[in-house]
Each structure stands twice: as structure tokens, then as C-alpha cells.
Amino acid sequence: MATYNCIIIDDDEIDRITVVAFVKKFPELNIVGVFDNAASALPAIETQDVQILFLDIDMPGLSGIDFRKHAAHVPVCIFITAHPEHAVESFELDTLDFVVKPLKLDRFAQTVARIQDYLELKHKAQLFEASIGGDTIYIKEGHEQTKVKLHDILYLEALKDYTKIVTPQKRHCVLSSIGMLLKEDNFNSFIRVHRSYAVQKQFIKKILTNEVMLNNDVVIPVGRSYKDNLKTLQ
């Protein structure tokens, strides 16, 4: 199992202890530094090979947003904050996930899964290519090429510069952003329901307040700014 070095920065002691405790539940995460302010963490990102930042945003002195600007070379940034109003600004800084406090273990586990997916894809980036023809997408994985029928795809999930393509049988990944894929005419049967998700209209079984349920009972979150996209289906 690959392991990834991370640092944790939060000026609130209880929140900092909680993040440390949750990180230690995942053997693939290795803590190389814990800090109660961002300024004292600056040497760590220069002297150690850090792959993941767990950052609070609202901190005295150097904020989490400003720290991320100094640490732009670190591949993964996870903001854990009590201030959801910073979400848009944070995603402009190459953020993989934005978690609102109070932090819950099940939500943190989802974040860890996204981290693993992203870092594994980043490592294998040169192996993934995609070409679209008709109703089919051809995905190159290593020396093999897999044919995926577009009408079999349940949903798309964004992972920064990559997109996870999910069918009932398998998950595939391509080196293309979800936004770029959705601009293709071949993907006009998909509807964006969240910053990180687009679902195929024909597979939507039920539209709930903050979620959509697909035919195979997979539940996908609906972002507030994307709810209007679903009104045409109701």
C-alpha cells in the first residue's frame, strides 16, 4: 500500500486533535507535522516531501488560504473549516476537497478515498488517454484499450484534472476535467448536479432535496448552485 505524507494545521486544539485522531485511523496517511499556526508550518513544506495538507482556513496571522498559495507545489489540499463561505475561494487554489466542521469520521473517510483516487491517478497519468467516437469512449489503460458505451455510464466524478467514469460494472479514469468532458456533444445526456458530479439523465430514479438517487440506488449529492439544472426534469 502506498503511503502519503501529510501535515495538519489548525489553531483550534480540539479540532486539531480530532484531525490527528482520524488521520491515524488510515495507515496510508503518515503525519510528518502538526501545527497550531500556518507560519510555523512553512519550513515543513520546504524540507519534507509532503503530499497532503489538512488545513483550517480562518487562523490568526497567515490564513489557510494564504498558506496554500505558499504551498502550491503540494499535490493535495484539504480544507477543514467552520466557514463554508470560503469554499469558492478555496477551489480557485487547487483544492481537492472542502470539509465543513464539525468533522465526522464517515465524511473524513470519503475524503481519504478521494485522496487515494487522485494520487493514484496522478502517478499513472501518462497511462490514461481517452478518445470519443459515436456513442463510445475508448479508454487507454496501460497497453490495453477499453471500449465503454456512453449510454452505460451512470455518472461522472471530478478529481481535479481527472474524471472518474462509473458504469455498473467498473470504474474508469481519464485525464480530462469533468467540465471539458461535458462540453463534448456526446455527453449532452448528462446533467451537472454538483461541482464534482454529473449524472446521466436516464438513470435518475428519484430527486430528493439535496441528493439524486440513480436506478442502482447510488446516491449522488446535489450542490446548491446546481439545483436549477434539475428543475427541467421534474
Q: What is the spatial distance between Cα 168 and Cα 227, in angstroms, rounded to a whole number?
A: 25
3-state DSSP assignment of residue 46: helix
CB 158 within 8 Å of CB 192:
no
User: Could you read off the pLDDT of 69-111 as tens digits, one per residue?
Assistant: 899 889 899 999 887 776 655 556 678 888 999 999 999 999 9
CA distances from 66 to 15, 95, 152 (A): 20, 13, 43
- Number of residues in the chain: 234
Determine the pLDDT at residue 128: 42
* Cis preceding linkage at 43, omega within 30: no
Determine the pLDDT at residue 194: 93
Residues of the chain with pLDDT under 50: 125-130
Determine the pLDDT at residue 129: 46
Determine the pLDDT at residue 214: 92
Determine the pLDDT at residue 93: 66
CB 222 within 8 Å of CB 230:
yes
Q: What is the spatial distance between Cα 139 and Cα 228, in angstroms, rounded to a whole number?
A: 32
Determine the pLDDT at residue 87: 60
The CA-based angle 205-211-217, given to 5 degrees, is 40
* Radius of gyration from C-alpha coordinates of the chain: 19
CA distances from 28 to 15, 24, 108, 112, 170 (A): 21, 9, 14, 9, 24
Determine the pLDDT at residue 27: 95
For the chain, domains (ranges, CATH) are 4-123 (3.40.50.2300), 129-233 (2.40.50.1020)
The grid cell for 183 is: 462540453
